[in-house]
Amino acid sequence: MLLLLFFLLVYPLLLLLSSTLCLDSTNKHKPWIETEYQGIVMENDNTVLLNPPLFALDKDAPLHYAGEICGFRVHNGPSGSGSVQFEAVVLDRSTGEGLVRSKMPLDCESQREHSFTIQAYDCGEGPDGVNSKKSHKATVHVRVNDVNEFSPVFVDRRYEASVPEGRLFDRIVRVEALDADCSPQYSQICFYDIITPNVPFAIDNDGNIKNTEPLDSKRQRVHTFWVTAFDCGKNRAQADTQVVVTVKPSCKPGWIGWTKRVEYTPGSGSIPLFPSLHLETCEETVWNIQATVELQTGHIGKGCDRDSYSDRSVRRLCGAVRGEVDLLPPPSPAANWTSALPTLPSSDSSLVFSFNGSNHVAMVPDSVVAALSGDHFTLQLWMRRGGANIQPATTQTKGNRKDEETIVCSTVRNDDSFSHYSLSVHGCRLSLFYWPDVSAARPVKFLWKLEQVCDSEWHHLSLSVQFPSVTLYVDGVTFDPALIHDNGAIPNPAPRQRMFIGACWGKSMLSESTIFRQLNDVKYVGGYHGLLSGVTVRPGSVEPHSVVECLYACREGLDFGDLETLGSGMKVHVNPSQSVLVLEGDDIESFNRAVQQVTYRNSLRFATPGVRPLKLTTSLRCFNEESCLSLKQLEGYLVVLQPDAPQISLSGVGPHLARPAPEFEGPRGVPLFPELRIVCSLSHAVNTALKMYYWNFRTLMSDAVAHTLDGCEVQPLGEELNPEREELLVDMDVVRERGLEIINTTAYIAITGAESISVYEDVLRSVRYRLAKGSARFERRFRLSCSEMNGRYTSNELTLEVNFLHSLDNLYHPSHLLASQQQFLHPSHHAGELSGHTLPNPHRDSVVPGAATVIIMVCVGFLVVMVILGVFRIRSIHRRGEGARGGSKEGSGQWDDSALTIIVNPMESYESRMGIAADTEGEGEEEEEVVESPDDGGDDQRIIIKKEGRDGNARRY
C-alpha cells in the first residue's frame, strides 16, 4: 500500500524534474568568430596582437557547456606552415576570449609574413564535450615586426680613385654599405660620415664623395681617409672602409706617345708607325672616335714608290699586251710634236708634260694616227688636274674655269668610215664622247663623276673601249659609267684622220680646206689645264684587269697589321692608293690597340730613299657636344733610309782581243763579248771575326737577288765609228724576240728595256765588230756598261782593246810602207808604244800601222844589220886575234844605240800589256847595254845584247 502511494506521488515529480534537466543541456548553436584577423608580432616576442581581438561567441550561453568556448584550432594557411609555428589558447571560456602566439622564435629576415586559419569550438553537452560544435574558419595574417639587430656592412673594405689636379668634381668615388635587417626602417643606410678629420672631401647620404677644394698633386699626391655608415636605427657599421684618392697631374687631352720621326730600313717589310701611341680623353665620355692617317707620297713619281722604272718598262714587267703607241714621246727628230711642250722633272724618270689650257697642244702626226684605227682600243694615261708650276692661261677667267677641258681628241679611219672620240674633264666629271660613225650613227657620251678628277693629285686612268662596251679603271678600281645619248646639234667632224693632245680643234677646223700643218693657225677649244704623262693608245683587244692593277699597284703604303685583332665596333678603311687609312670606333681601349696596328709597308728591295710626310687627324664626338674635346692635327715624317746599293759586275771579257784582220772583214765580223758574264749582288758588312773563318766562302758575304736590267751601252772610245769602213752588228732577231729596243749609231749602241740578266747576256754576246775589206786599222777600244732601276745603279765599265793582226806580206804593201816611214819620221807620236800602250790616232782618215806591225818591221831591219855587223866582227877577230877582239869591244862602246830604244820582240809589248811582264818599276832608270862574245872564235859565235827597257825587264836580242 505504501509502495503504491510512493509511485503515485513521487513518480510524476521525478518525471517532471527529468524533463526539465533534459531541456537545459541541449547544444543548439555553433560558436561565432570574425572572418579575418590582422596580427603583429615582434621578432623578440611570441604573442600576436590581433585586430580585432580574438573573441568567440555562442548563442547557447549562458547554458553550461553548450554556451561555453572550450578551445581554438589552427589550420595550415597558404604557406602550409601556420599550424606548426602558431597556436591559439582560450583565456576565458564563458566570454570566449582567446590568444594567438608563436610556438618558436620568429625571424623577420627569413619570413616576414605568415597566414593561417583558426576555428573555435564549444564545450558540447556535457563535461566530456559530447556533441560540441565548431565555428567557421577565419583567416589570420600575421606580420613579423623587425628588430634592429644588424649593423651596416660596406661592400668593399677599400675604395680607390684617381682624379686630375686643379678641378672640382661632383663625384670622385661612391662607397656603399648594406644592412641585413628586413624592415626599411632598420635596413636602410640613413647617412655616411668621414671620420678622418681635416680632409678636403665630403660625402652625402648616398655615399658619393667629392672634393671640397681643388687638389694639388705637388702638395699631396695621395689622400687616404676612413668612412663609416649608420642605418636608420642608428646602428653604426661594424667595420669602417678606407678610401684612397690619387691626384694625377693636369690632364691634357690628346695623343700620348707620338713620334715625329719614323725610320724605315729598306727590306724590313712592314713596320708599325705608332707602336706606343694612345689617346687620352681625360675621362671625357666619348661615343665615336675617327682617326685619319695620311702618308704623302706625291713627290715620289706619280704618287707612290713603284719600281722606279719608266712607264714602258713597267708595262713590260706587268705583262701588258705589246703594240701600244706613245702619244707623248720624248722629243726627238723622229717625234718632234712634243718639242714645244714644257716638261717637269719626275723622280721616276717618266717624262711629265704640262698644259696651260691655251697654247700647250700636241698635234699627233697622221702617220701615227693611221696605226690607231678600229673601235676596239685601250687608252691609258697619268693625269694630275691643275698641277704644280703651271701658269694659267692668259685668256682664262674665273667665269670659264668650269668649261670642258679636252685631254685627247681623235678622228680615225675604220675601214671605209671614220670614227671620232674625245676624252674630257668638266668639274669633277670625266666624259668620253664617242662617235662610231660620223656619217651615220649617232654619238654617245659616257659620263663618270669622280673625285679623283678634281683633287689635284696624280691618278692613273685606263679606258678600254670595245664599243658599245666601255670600261674605266681609275687607280686600278673599276667605275661604271652613266650613258648619255647626246642628240644635240653637233657638227660632223671632217672625214680626216687627226689627233690632238691637250685640246680639240674648233669649228673652223671641220672643213677640208683647213691647213693642219701649222699649229699657230689652228683654233683650239677646250684646252686642258694640268699634267699628263705616259699617254698611250693600243688598238685591238682591251687590257686585262690584272695588267691594269699591276700598272698602278704601289709598292709602298699604309696597311693594318692583323684584322683579326680588330676589336668589336672598330672599322678600318684604306684607299686604293694606300695613302690614306681611316680608323673608326666607339671604345677608347679598342681604338688605342687598333692605332698601334697601323703599319707602313714597302715591298721594294731598293726603295726610293727620302722623306714621306705623315699626318694624323682625329675627330671626336661626345654625348655633350658643347664640351667635347678638340684635338689638333699631328704632323711627322717617315724617313726611308738609303738601301744597300746593288753591285752590277761585268766580267768574262779580257782587256785585249787579238784576232787576224781577215776575221774582222768577214760578213759577220768578230764577237766582242762572247763570254760575257753579268752578276748582280748585294754586299753587307760581315763580322770581322767571321771573315777569317769564311774567307774562302765569299758567297756568304753577298746575297744574290733577282735583278732586272733596263739598259746596256757599247761605246767606241776615241773617234766614232767610220760607217764606210767599220760597224757594230747586233742580232736583231734576239732583240725583237725579247721585246727590247735598240739605238745603233756611230757613237754608241744603246739597248734598253726591262729584262733579266740572262737576256742581256744573250744580246750582248751577239754584238759583233766588222771591218770593211782593205781597212788599215790596227787597234780599236770599246767600253761596255749596264744599269738597272732606270739608271739608278750602274755597273763597272768594262774596257776592251781590239788588236788586228796583219801578215808580213801585207806589211810591204805600199800604203803600209808609207805609214811606216811616217812613223819613223815622227817617232815622238809613238812614244807611248814603248810602254805597251797605244794612243788613238787623231786623224780620222789616216792609215797608221799598229804597234805590232812597227815592232816587226824594226826587228827585221835590226836583225839584218846585226847579222852584217856580226859577220864583219867575226872576220876582224880572226885577223887581229885577242887584241883585235879588245878593240872590237872598245868599238862597241861607241855603238850608236839610238835605234835600240825600239822593242825588238814583236809580242813583247802585247804580253806586257796582258800582265805577263813584271810591273813597270824603275821607269826612270838609265838603260845599260852589254855586248858579249864567246871566248872561242868558231863559226857559231853570236852576239847577245841585253837591253833593259822602261819596265825594268831585260830583253835579249
Under 8 Å between Cβ of 282 and 164: yes
Nine-digit cell string for 912? 806586257
Q: What is the pTM of this model?
A: 0.52
Under 8 Å between Cβ of 711 and 750: yes
Residue 243 and residue 229 share a domain: yes
> How far is the C-alpha of 475 from the C-alpha of 557, rounded, in Å?
14
The β-bridge relationship of strands 580-585 and 241-248 is unpaired
> How far is the C-alpha of 579 from the C-alpha of 575, rounded, in Å?
7
Residue 473 and residue 338 share a domain: yes
Decide which of 745, 770, 805 is a domain's last residue. 805
- In 3D space, the residue among 122, 14, 7, 2 whose CA is nearest the CA of residue 65 turns out to be 122
pLDDT tens by residue, 166-180: 889 999 999 999 988
- pLDDT confidence tier of residue 46, bands split at 50, 70 and 90: confident
User: Pick the residue with more confidence: 908 or 78?
Assistant: 78
DSSP 250: P
Range list of β-strands (E), 274-332: 278-280, 286-295, 325-326
For residue 645, what pLDDT is reported?
79
Query: Does 436 reside within a domain?
Result: yes
Under 8 Å between Cβ of 62 and 166: no
Query: Does 7 reside within a domain?
Result: no
- In 3D space, the residue among 401, 343, 398, 410 whose CA is nearest the CA of residue 529 turns out to be 401
Residue 439 and residue 338 share a domain: yes
pLDDT tens by residue, 184-210: 778 888 899 999 999 999 999 999 999
> Going by C-beta distance under 8 Å and a sequence separation of 6 or more, which residues neighbour residue 759?
738, 740
The letter for the amino acid at 821 is Q
> Going by C-beta distance under 8 Å and a sequence separation of 6 or more, which residues neighbour residue 860?
none
For residue 7, what pLDDT is reported?
56
Q: Render 497-555 in DSSP notation, one character per residue.
A: -EEEESSEE-GGGGSTT---S-GGG--EES--EEEEEEEEEEESSPPPHHHHHHHH--S
For residue 769, what pLDDT is reported?
92
Helix-strand-coil percent breakdown of the chain, rounded to 5?
20, 35, 45
| Res 941 pLDDT > 60 | no
> How far is the C-alpha of 896 from the C-alpha of 24, rounded, in Å?
195
| Res 942 pLDDT > 60 | no
Determine the number of helices (DSSP H) and then strands (DSSP E) in the chain.
15, 60
Torsion over CA of 518, 521, 523 and 526, rounded to 10 degrees? 40
- On average, the pLDDT of the chain sits at 75
Share of the chain above pLDDT 90, in %: 20
CATH number at residue 570: 2.60.40
Residue 266 and residue 159 share a domain: no
pLDDT tens by residue, 686-743: 333 333 333 333 333 333 345 688 889 999 998 899 888 889 999 888 888 887 888 8
> How far is the C-alpha of 120 from the C-alpha of 498, rounded, in Å?
124
Residue 490 and residue 424 share a domain: yes
- pLDDT confidence tier of residue 525, bands split at 50, 70 and 90: confident
Query: Does 101 reside within a domain?
Result: yes
Q: Please give, one letter per residue, the 3-state secondary structure of 641-681.
A: CCCCCEEEEEECCCCEEEEEHHHHCCCCCEECCCCCEEEEE
87-125 burial: b if 16+ Cβ within 10 Å, else e = bbebeebeebebbbebeeebebeeebebbbbbbbbbbbb
Under 8 Å between Cβ of 310 and 328: no
For residue 635, what pLDDT is reported?
93
Query: Does 832 reside within a domain?
Result: no
> How far is the C-alpha of 640 from the C-alpha of 295, rounded, in Å?
13
Residue 454 and residue 348 share a domain: yes
- In 3D space, the residue among 320, 754, 326 whose CA is nearest the CA of residue 533 turns out to be 326
> Going by C-beta distance under 8 Å and a sequence separation of 6 or more, which residues neighbour residue 249?
164, 165, 217
- pLDDT confidence tier of residue 875, bands split at 50, 70 and 90: low
> How far is the C-alpha of 791 from the C-alpha of 806, rounded, in Å?
40
Place of cell 671604345: 587
For residue 160, what pLDDT is reported?
94
Nine-digit cell string for 784? 761596255
For residue 192, what pLDDT is reported?
94
> How far is the C-alpha of 727 from the C-alpha of 700, rounded, in Å?
43
Residue 484 and residue 578 share a domain: no
Task: Identify the sign of the CA torsion 489, 494, 498, 504.
Answer: negative
Under 8 Å between Cβ of 434 and 465: yes
pLDDT tens by residue, 557-575: 899 888 777 877 889 998 8
Range of 121-135, 212-226, 885-899 with top mean pLDDT: 212-226
Nine-digit cell string for 772? 770593211
- pLDDT confidence tier of residue 876, bands split at 50, 70 and 90: low
Q: Please give, one letter per residue, the 3-state secondary structure of 458-505.
A: EEEEEEEEECCEEEEEECCEEECCEEECCCCCCCCCCCCCEEEECCEE
Query: Does 186 reside within a domain?
Result: yes
Residue 268 and residue 224 share a domain: no
Query: Does 359 reside within a domain?
Result: yes
Decide which of 640, 662, 697 is a domain's last residue. 640
Place of cell 689622400: 223
Range of 235-239, 385-389, 520-524, 907-911 with top mean pLDDT: 235-239
DSSP 841: P
Residue 563 and residue 547 share a domain: no
Domain enclosing residue 219, as ranges: 153-248
Query: Does 396 reside within a domain?
Result: no
| Res 254 pLDDT > 80 | yes
Q: Render 714-726 in DSSP notation, one character per residue.
A: EEESSSPP-TTTE
777 CB neighbour count, 10 Å cutoff: 20
- pLDDT confidence tier of residue 79, bands split at 50, 70 and 90: low
Nine-digit cell string for 720? 766614232
Query: Which element (helix H / strand E) includes 871?
Result: helix 851-892
User: Pick the residue with more confidence: 576 or 339?
Assistant: 339
Residue 457 and residue 365 share a domain: yes
The edge-to-edge listing of strands for the beta sheet with 954-956 is 929-932, 944-948, 954-956
Residue 741 and residue 651 share a domain: yes
Residue 630 and residue 607 share a domain: yes
- Which residues does residue 768 pair with via DSSP β-bridges, in sequence order? 671, 729
Query: Where do runs of H (alpha helix) occur along 741-813?
Result: 757-765, 808-811
For residue 334, what pLDDT is reported?
79
For residue 528, what pLDDT is reported?
92
CATH number at residue 540: 2.60.120.200
CATH number at residue 196: 2.60.40.60
Query: Does 699 reside within a domain?
Result: no
Total tally of structural domains belonging to the chain: 5
> Going by C-beta distance under 8 Å and a sequence separation of 6 or more, which residues neighbour residue 120?
31, 32, 33, 56, 69, 71, 72, 73, 96, 98, 134, 135
Under 8 Å between Cβ of 743 and 718: no
User: Pick the residue with more confidence: 133 or 810?
Assistant: 133
> Going by C-beta distance under 8 Å and a sequence separation of 6 or more, which residues neighbour residue 19?
none
Decide which of 145, 172, 192 is a domain's last residue. 145
Torsion over CA of 903, 908, 910 and 913, rounded to 10 degrees? -90
Nine-digit cell string for 893? 862602246
Share of the chain above pLDDT 70, in %: 72
- Asked if residue 544 has a cis previous peptide bond (ω within 30° of 0), the answer is no
- Which residues does residue 929 pair with via DSSP β-bridges, in sequence order? 947
Backbone angles phi, psi at 839, to 5 degrees: -90, 140
What own/partner pairs with CB < 8 Å and gap ≥ 24 does 585-594 have? 585/288, 585/289, 586/286, 586/287, 586/288, 586/289, 588/279, 588/281, 588/286, 588/289, 591/279, 591/289, 591/291, 591/567, 592/277, 592/278, 592/279, 593/565, 593/567, 594/560, 594/566, 594/567, 594/570
Query: Where do runs of H (alpha helix) occur along 743-845?
Result: 757-765, 808-811, 814-825
For residue 85, what pLDDT is reported?
81
Query: Which element (helix H / strand E) includes 880?
Result: helix 851-892
- Asked if residue 329 has a cis previous peptide bond (ω within 30° of 0), the answer is no
